[in-house]
Amino acid sequence: MLGRTLREVSAALKQGQITPTELCQKCLSLIKKTKFLNAYITVSEEVALKQAEESEKRYKKGHSLGDLDGIPIAVKDNFSTSGIETTCASNMLKGYVPPYNATVVQKLLDQGAVLMGKTNLDEFAMGSGSTDGVFGPVKNPWSYSKQYREKTKHKAHGENEDSNWLITGGSSGGSAAAVATFTCFAALGSDTGGSTRNPAAHCGVVGFKPSYGLVSRHGLIPLVNSMDVPGILTRCVDDAAIVLGMLAGHDPKDSTTVQDPVKPFTLTSLTDVSKLCIGIPKEYITPELSSEVQSLWSKAANLFESEGAKVIEVSLPHTSYSIVCYHVLCTSEVASNMARFDGLEYGHRCDIDVSTEAMYAATRREGFNDVVRGRILSGNFFLLKENYENYFIKAQKVRRLIANDFVNVFNSGVDVLLTPTTLSEAVPYQEFIKEDNRTRSAQDDIFTQAVNMAGLPAVSVPMALSNQGLPVGLQFIGRAFHDQQLLTVAKWFEKQVQFPVTQLQELMDDCSSVFEIEKLAAVSLKQ
């Protein structure tokens, strides 16, 4: 049942093959079984069961609210949820219980979705590994797949078998792991520089970033106001489209949402791609790109071509500067957005009472980790009077050049761009932490963050397993507000490569056996 698509489960619920409460219980027990992955910060068991009960009443009366009624979902812990602790994986907000729901959360709840819990992330969504939160790192469920363990067995004999576990990617790693392990059907992430697509690629699920302005950011604790977007993680493209249909649309509480009318849509199944033009940006072929990912990328391009699509090489000339530009703009906006955390009205507050300034300084020292503090300080540097023109304004100009690159490419007849999502498959945690957060983000976001700067929709679709048995995803980028077209192409591709269901189900069997055999180990792994 858990391996089915949203539509199938929704139909099963309507027909009474399974009840929302049974579905909820199954997911809750799976969450308990996969606790060692640390994907969830808060599991809202009571709330979930209550919501499932209400959904069941609606189904009995024949008044279901729609395709999402009774469906378990998870939400990244930087979305405000009324009555449920929202921490952003930071000491600054530990114990903070918002008095309101984020608009996207409210929309999902209005549709009858059942909230399983809040998922783990990098602190304040800053990072590309989901390793820097105060609740500890998230482990990639693929670390426990039979195939991967077989390949790394020779390295681990004698040592603790778990020392080679892989990162999920970030910053929405908890959401990606939650979806990959069947504990929910869809999860909300946030995407500022690739934070939804990166972990989706590493965990073998679909990660969708809508166009900027399509989905409301009200209630999403902001990182970069001009680039943040709520992201959707699901096990198949069709499910992502269903969730998008529920979430898209103007929100009076977020004035950066566009006012164009939005109707829920059903994705058509493309049978003929001959009218499609796929662009391959040549600047995305970098030496750091792993040969496996590169060959899968070529394979995908050839697949489109063999089915009649036009596949052409395009140029995004300012690609090499996009990561630098992102770095300046991101830290500058962060410096501004983090200023609200002063301990007075919510969040952590230190014990110092000498003066407000001293209290603010100590609260912020105690509440933020090094990564957040580093970004705040860098951002303030770039915003200093003497630096404003040379760094901040300059970066804004470069942003326009980057956005124009995309506009030019799409104007030349390209419908969709095809690129890798990540440089390689998921790496072991021990290797990931050898470099600091900023360096890693600069390396890992390389294919994903230009999309945020231009505000375009993009989706990462899992394609195949690498030689080590780990998932690799490819990214499709579409024109602004052409999300439906983008998802249609992604759905066609997904059908051709046949990744999701079979591989994930085998993974879950492997994870379950790990849990059974290593129950003691799981207890000792809890931090």
Partner 1 sequence: MWARAVRFGLRSWVAWRRGFTSKADPQGNGRVSAQVIEHLERLALVDFGSQEAVARLEKAIAFADRLRAVDTGGVEPMESVLEDRCLYLRSDNVVEGNCAEELLQNAHRVVEEYFVAPPGNISLPEQDEQEPFSYN
Q: Does the footprint of partner 1 cover residue 288 (CB under 8 A)?
A: no
Interface residue with partner 1, options 277, 401, 464, 525 (CB under 8 A): 401
Helix/strand/coil percent split, the chain, to 5: 50, 15, 40
Binders of partner 1 in range 159-188 (CB under 8 A) = none
Residue 163 DSSP one-character state:
G
Alpha-carbon distance of 265 to 241, in angstroms, equals: 8
Residue 81 Cβ, how far from partner 1 at the closest point, in Å?
14
Which tokens in the block code for residue 216? Answer: 């409301």
Q: How, if at all, do strands 229-234 and 206-209 pair?
A: antiparallel
Q: Does the footprint of partner 1 cover residue 410 (CB under 8 A)?
A: no
Q: Does the footprint of partner 1 cover residue 364 (CB under 8 A)?
A: yes
Residue 76 Cβ, how far from partner 1 at the closest point, in Å?
20
Question: What string marks each residue from 497 to 526 as x (binds partner 1 by CB under 8 A) or -?
Answer: ------------------------------
> In three state form, how does the secondary structure of 207-218 look?
EEECCCCCECCC
Count the residues of the shown chain that bind partner 1, applying the rule CB under 8 A.
Answer: 73
- For partner 1, which is the closer residue by CB, 41 or 186? 41
Alpha-carbon distance of 293 to 202, in angstroms, equals: 12
Q: Does the footprint of partner 1 cover residue 349 (CB under 8 A)?
A: yes
- For partner 1, which is the closer residue by CB, 66 or 374? 374
Q: Does the footprint of partner 1 cover residue 340 (CB under 8 A)?
A: no
Alpha-carbon distance of 284 to 74, in angstroms, equals: 33
Is residue 303 a contact partner of residue 276, using CB atoms and an 8 Å limit?
no
Which tokens in the block code for residue 327? Answer: 């770095």
- For partner 1, which is the closer residue by CB, 377 or 517? 377
Query: What is the CB-side half-sphere exposure of residue 300 using CA atoms within 13 A?
Result: 31
Q: Does the footprint of partner 1 cover residue 388 (CB under 8 A)?
A: no
Cβ within 8 Å of residue 493, ≥6 positions away: 300, 303, 304, 461, 474, 476
Residue 357 Cβ, how far from partner 1 at the closest point, in Å?
5
The DSSP-derived string for 178-200 is HHHTTS-SEEEEEESSSTTHHHH
Interface residue with partner 1, options 113, 232, 454, 461 (CB under 8 A): 454
- For partner 1, which is the closer residue by CB, 455 or 471? 455
Q: Does the footprint of partner 1 cover residue 331 (CB under 8 A)?
A: yes
- Only one residue has tokens 């230009």, namely 450
- For partner 1, which is the closer residue by CB, 247 or 330? 330
Alpha-carbon distance of 201 to 169, in angstroms, equals: 8
- For residue 167, list its beta bridge partners: 139
- For partner 1, which is the closer residue by CB, 345 or 516? 345
Question: What string marks each residue from 423 to 442 as x (binds partner 1 by CB under 8 A) or -?
Answer: -------------x-x---x
Binders of partner 1 in range 123-162 (CB under 8 A) = none
Interface residue with partner 1, options 285, 403, 423, 497 (CB under 8 A): 403
The H or E element containing residue 358 is helix 356-367
Binders of partner 1 in range 66-105 (CB under 8 A) = 96-97, 99
Q: Does the footprint of partner 1 cover residue 1 (CB under 8 A)?
A: no
Q: Does the footprint of partner 1 cover residue 395 (CB under 8 A)?
A: yes
The 277-281 sheet, strands edge to edge: 40-43, 114-119, 72-76, 186-191, 229-234, 206-209, 458-465, 471-477, 416-420, 277-281, 310-314
Alpha-carbon distance of 174 to 438, in angstroms, equals: 20
Residue 86 Cβ, how far from partner 1 at the closest point, in Å?
11
Binders of partner 1 in range 459-488 (CB under 8 A) = 480
Binders of partner 1 in range 205-224 (CB under 8 A) = 212-213
Interface residue with partner 1, options 12, 65, 134, 258 (CB under 8 A): 258
Which tokens in the block code for residue 361? Answer: 């300084």
Q: Does the footprint of partner 1 cover residue 417 (CB under 8 A)?
A: no
